[in-house]
Amino acid sequence: MATQPDTLRSSAVEDYAKAIYALQTRCDGAPVSTNALAERLGLTAGSVSAMVKRLGELGLVEHLPYRGVSLTDSGRRVALEVIRHHRLLELYLVESLGMPWDRVHEEAEVLEHVLSEQLEEVIAAKLGNPTLDPHGDPIPGPDLVLSEPETLSLASLQPGDRGRFVRVSDSDPAMLRYLAESGIAPGTAFEVVDRQPFGGPLFVRFGAEPGEVRPLGGALADAMRVELDGETIG
C-alpha cells in the first residue's frame, strides 16, 4: 500500500505514527496499547482511541481488539519519513546554525512537519548524507531504511567495564545540558570505576586516562546508551 497523500498527513497523524513506531520498537514490534500511546503523547485514552480509528481509516494502522495497535507498511513509512526529517533538522541546527544540542529537539518537532522533500535532500547533501544525529540516534536513509544497532544502558554495567558512550535521548534538555557542560558527547570513551548499592550513583571516568570521574544518578545512567570495548552488540 502506498503512503497516504500529503493532504491526509496532518501533523497529528505524523506525531501518532512516530509515537507508535517508537513504542513498537521498544517492545520488539508488539502491538501498542492505547493507554501506553496516551501516556507517551500526554493525551486522554478517549482522544487516542478516536485518532487510532482515523489512522485505521487512512490505512496507517491495524487495531487488534484487546491487543493494541500496530503500524501498517504505509504507517511505518510515514513514521520513518518524519523521523528522518527530525534527525536531519537536529543535526543541521547544531552543525550549520550552531544551536546547542539541548535546544534543537523542540525546534525539530515543529519543522519536521513542514520540511519539503526537496529541502530535505539539500540539507542531507549539505551535511554529507549523515547516518547519526547529534544525540547519536540513527537517521533513516532516503529509502527510509533505519538500522537500529543494539546498545547497552550505562546503568547496567559493572566496575571495570569500558567502552564508548554512543547515544542518548533528546527529550530531556537538562540532561543534555549537563552532559555538554561535562564535555561528554557521543563517541566519548568511558570506564566504570564504581557503583553504589541500592540504586546509588555510578562513578564513571570519561575520556582518556586520567579522565575525570563523575557520579551519575540512576536516571541519567539509564538514559545513556553505550557499546563495550571488544564486543560487537547486535
Tell me the per-residue pLDDT of 133-156, one tens digit each, with 9 for 90 and over: 999 999 999 999 998 888 999 999
pLDDT tens digits along 220-233 = 999 999 999 875 33
Where are the domains positioned within the chain? 1-148, 152-228
167 three-class SS: strand
Q: CATH second-level architecture of 1-148?
A: Orthogonal Bundle (1.10)
All three cell numbers of 180: 555538554
CATH homologous superfamily of domain 152-228? Ferrous iron transport protein A (FeoA) (2.30.30.90)
pLDDT of residue 27: 86
CA–CA dist 2, 160 (Å, integer): 50
Alpha-carbon distances, residue 172 vs 49, 105, 169 (angstroms): 27, 9, 7
- Residue 133: which of 110, 171, 101, 163 has the closest Cα? 101
**Higher pLDDT residue, 65 or 201?**
201
What's the pTM value of the predicted model, to 2 decimals? 0.88
Buried b (16+ CB within 10 A) or exposed e, 129-165: ebeebbbbbbbbeeeeebeeeebbebbebeeebebbb
